[in-house]
Structure 1
């Protein structure tokens, strides 16, 4: 009889056969093949890395013709266990040529366990031992899901309280719909909607973490003054370059989301050769702009932008391969709640019937190693998330 053992159950399996406790780290390094894709490596370096990876017992894949150095730069796919990579890094440390040191730095960073966090301007810290759930509250008349629209202040405060009681770690306040084809509102109208809402929530829930969903620097500043803690910018600072100044001066964390164009025309911009790679590279570059201005990693969160300038298949690929965003050292947010891709997968059902699909995306975010999900239905998603987390821990505590 033969039993399969998954990675999460390895420690229990070792204990059940009476292995010495000190052997666990040794076997953990051998228990899982970890694929990595190194991008834009000089071709001689790619050939060297491939041979060294093969020599330590792992594997590597380079493009056809790489051995002749026909192209100056290539991508390389590495397949190895943690043990293979540790030995490979020791070998690469002795090779200061062809850009190998930078490849080694990138690889070592991806392999080094990181305890990610988000530090708010007031010093409070969001930690991610458990998935953080962001609740959506739209003070708009036209958001794509009618259930998220909360125009009345009293209802907004009451619904926010229910979300917090259900386990929301962040409340996200939006004053302009970003659904495909939507028209912009002017900045003055956006501020008229969101600033009083944020002030009311801050007064009612002093300890709550509040996010302002805006791409305008003026709105972000006004929202932070009113009590917001995090900026959620769907344009990753493209729409208003002054947004970077706001991040630097206020020390508020920012969520950088991938989008092409504007909500009005974004669905005409869905051409990609490799959507996962292009989105990941773009977000890493946008984050780097902030790093060069002295913004630390605990002030940056990445969001792949599901349904923003992507078709159904591209959205599904991004969710499947969400892990690609988790190697940069920043928390990752998945925001797929009740979106059109889920409707397409479920046979064309409207937004009101996409709860189960949303929960599935939240669970996938856990498997991918993301830190936060943005949802309309906090209680249902929190319950599903905490259940899966308990299963993977093998403990209800």
Structure 2
């Protein structure tokens, strides 16, 4: 039976001598939770664990210039007419200006998407998706912004056009299962990637999603996809993993993943968390208007930092960077 090791992450300066550093970041741990399918979890001291904890303790190399010894914020720029909370708000010169503003507010990366991934969204044709994204990326670069840009796409042709226009990273919500040409493209271009878990595609993912064990099923998927990507020539030190909160998951699935996010450090790569303005926040906080879910989004993000998550994807960049600065000073005891 496969065992999974989840570090019980702590932060702060009162650190025991036997504590082990987590992923070269601000967190540390003295105990691990051992998880197995169909068995109750067991917590033991890390010093008594016979399993390989190296994936938990090894440093994470910088990706696209981002270092993981501190939390980073990825700003969301949707150049779509139908995204769930900001559809139609950003296009053309206005989109580039919004990207510039997010950089000023502290975004370490800009994630640009031209195809909505909200539940029920239809697939966008490749020429339309390229027409929405590549010119905006070019305009951002023309404005003198050198902040890393990720292209949020499932399609190799869209990714190629984006990389040609100045993007650095490919962020695929389908976990590189939609277009067989996408991973080879990224390998050929030496482009870092974000690999995300989703059950189903945007058009159908909200239709009664089911798992045997959502935490371990998502972990296994990401582990297998990372192995598949390395087999295709994308080195592990250029991969970021995202558990895909809200993508083919119920409220209970989402909260189960959030409760044990630190498990995903076992993948040996930085973790990206995208919860900004999502429906489960509105459900739990009774906020039906997605644009008003910034405070709830920040609350989830700070809880994730307490589990060592390195990269937070956010619409409201200024809210997140301000909150993270105060979190680091008061909880992690780190100056910004």
Judge same fold: TM > 0.5, yes or no.
yes
In the alignment, what sits opposite 2:207?
Answer: 268
SS in 2 for 1:302: strand
* 1:157–1:268 distance in 2 versus 1, CA, 3 Å: same
How far is 1:309 from its partner?
0.5
Whether 2:22 is the aligned partner of 1:25: answer: no
State the alpha-carbon separation in 2 of the partners of residues 140 and 207 from structure 1: 23
In the alignment, what sits opposite 1:10?
Answer: 14
Task: Tell me which of 89, 103, 116 is aligned to 1:149.
Answer: 89
- Where do residues 237-386 of structure 1 align in structure 2 (5 Å cutoff)? 237-386=176-325
- Higher Rg: 1
* 1:251–1:148 distance in 2 versus 1, CA, 3 Å: farther
State the alpha-carbon separation in 2 of the partners of residues 356 and 246 from structure 1: 38
**Contact 1:260/1:269 (CA < 8 Å) preserved in 2?**
no
Which runs of no fewer than 5 residues in structure 2 stay unpaired? 1-9, 22-27
In the alignment, what sits opposite 2:161?
Answer: 222
In the alignment, what sits opposite 2:25?
Answer: none
How far is 1:27 from its partner?
7.2
Which runs of no fewer than 5 residues in structure 1 stay unpaired? 1-5, 12-23, 40-62, 64-74, 90-103
Whether 2:144 is the aligned partner of 1:205: answer: yes
* 1:109–1:259 distance in 2 versus 1, CA, 3 Å: same
State the alpha-carbon separation in 1 of the partners of residues 326 and 252 from structure 2: 28
State the alpha-carbon separation in 2 of the partners of residues 27 and 214 from structure 1: 40
In the alignment, what sits opposite 2:128?
Answer: 189
**Contact 1:338/1:352 (CA < 8 Å) preserved in 2?**
yes
State the alpha-carbon separation in 2 of the partners of residues 131 and 8 from structure 1: 15
How far is 1:148 from its partner?
7.5
* 1:269–1:257 distance in 2 versus 1, CA, 3 Å: farther
How far is 1:323 from its partner?
1.0
In the alignment, what sits opposite 2:59?
Answer: 115
Q: RMSD across aligned C-alpha pairs, in angstroms?
A: 2.2
In the alignment, what sits opposite 1:59?
Answer: none
Task: Tell me which of 118, 127, 136 is aligned to 2:76.
Answer: 136
How far is 1:394 from its partner?
2.6
* 1:260–1:147 distance in 2 versus 1, CA, 3 Å: closer
TM-score (norm 1): 0.76
How far is 1:28 from its partner?
7.2
Is the helix fraction higher in 1 or 2? 1
- The count of corresponding residues between Structure 1 and Structure 2 is 321
**Contact 2:80/2:113 (CA < 8 Å) preserved in 1?**
yes
SS in 2 for 1:212: strand
State the alpha-carbon separation in 1 of the partners of residues 19 and 285 from structure 2: 41
* 1:133–1:31 distance in 2 versus 1, CA, 3 Å: closer
1:216-260 deviation digits (Å, cap 9, x = unpaired): 011001100110000010101111011111111011011111112
TM-score (norm 2): 0.89
1:51-73 deviation digits (Å, cap 9, x = unpaired): xxxxxxxxxxxx7xxxxxxxxxx
In the alignment, what sits opposite 1:84?
Answer: 48
**Contact 2:31/2:44 (CA < 8 Å) preserved in 1?**
yes
Higher RCO, 1 vs 2 (CA within 8 Å, ≥6 residues apart):
2
State the alpha-carbon separation in 2 of the partners of residues 294 and 329 from structure 1: 17
**Contact 2:80/2:87 (CA < 8 Å) preserved in 1?**
no
How far is 1:149 from its partner?
2.9
**Contact 1:261/1:269 (CA < 8 Å) preserved in 2?**
no
**Contact 2:96/2:137 (CA < 8 Å) preserved in 1?**
no
1:272-317 deviation digits (Å, cap 9, x = unpaired): 1211110111011000001223322121111111111011111111
